[in-house]
Amino acid sequence: MTDSSRDNLFSSPLGKVPSFVFDQAVVDVFPDMISRSVPGYETILAHTGELAERFVQANTHCYDLGCSLGASTIAVRQRIEGRGATIFAVDNSTAMLSKCQKILDARPDSTHVELVDSDICDIEISNASLVVMNFTLQFVPLAQRAALMEKIYQGLNPGGCVIISEKLSFEPESLNQLLSELHHGFKRAQGYSDLEISQKRDSIENVLVPETLDSHIQRLRACGFQSASPWFQCFNFCSLVAIK
């Protein structure tokens, strides 16, 4: 990795830390940022591919909601070749999508990927056998999350699968604190300084709003998902699978 693609966005004192946005500066360092910030990211991607292989049906739609640079799309695509599925990779950061397009163009594959520049709350979901939301729901305003999950449930075919990976919050606060400290220890071990960790935390405050595991499971059940469970957790990061 060249120095320019290493995430050092928060390494100098920023004074008043601006709210986090997915702009070009983030796009330029994104693979390094997410892999050094999210424990288990690579494991979650690999198993997103495995779940795709199990659940994606011929001639159906897959959705990668909040696709960023397409890492989940690529993990899915390489396991579903020849099924005639279409992957809709959706993001509302134009900077992310234009780099994502270049990455996908450099890796041709027979599965059609359509990039959609939109808020995931505004798209239509239909004929879906797989919906992936890897670390995206946490950025959707709380008040819109139930309607989004309901739309996903309605757009999934029976037997279809949704994968939701998220940062979690915990109760009581002492447990939240512990898991957050373990996460910060992970980031320190990945080379982030205390200043980077604390400025990033300030920047994502009120932008990334985590919920408890119970809140996620209850919302999934309220939509109609009878089968819903975490399949992976490391500290305060978790991935859930739910089947219609």
Residues 140-199 binding ligand GEK (CB under 6 A) are 140
- Is 96 a binding residue for ligand GEK by CB under 6 A? The answer is yes
Stretch that binds ligand GEK, among 90-98, 181-189, 217-225, 236-244 (CB under 6 A): 90-98
CA–CA gap between residue 156 and residue 234 (Å, rounded): 28
Least distance CB 37 / ligand GEK (angstroms)? 7
Among 120, 149, 152, 156, binds ligand GEK (CB under 6 A): 120
Q: Interface residues for ligand GEK in 23-62 (CB under 6 A)? A: 34
Residue closer to ligand GEK, measured from CB, 15 or 141? 141
Contact pick of 7, 39, 66, 186 for ligand GEK (by CB under 6 A) = 66
Q: Does 125 bind ligand GEK (CB under 6 A)?
A: no
Point out the residue whose Cβ comes nearest to ligand GEK.
66
> Contact with ligand GEK (CB under 6 A): which of 55, 57, 88, 91?
91
Span from 52-60, 81-89, 92-100, 175-183 in contact with ligand GEK (CB under 6 A): 92-100
CA distance 52 to 227: 17
**Count of residues in contact with ligand GEK, rule CB under 6 A:** 20
Residue whose CB is less far from ligand GEK, 59 or 190:
190
What's the 3-state SS for the chain?
CCHHHCCCCCCCCCCCCCCCCCCHHHHHHHHHHHHHHCCCHHHHHHHHHHHHHHHCCCCCEEEEECCCCCHHHHHHHCCCCCCCCEEEEEECCHHHHHHHHHHHHCCCCCCEEEEEECCCCCCCCCCEEEEEEECCHHHCCHHHHHHHHHHHHHHEEEEEEEEEEEEECCCCHHHHHHHHHHHHHHHHHCCCCHHHHHHHHHHHCCCCCCECHHHHHHHHHHHCCCEEEEEEEECCEEEEEEEC
Task: Choose one: 133-141, 191-199, 213-221, 232-240; the region binding ligand GEK (CB under 6 A).
Answer: 133-141
Q: Which residues contribute to the site for ligand GEK (CB under 6 A)? A: 22, 34, 66-68, 71-72, 90-93, 96, 119-121, 134-136, 139-140
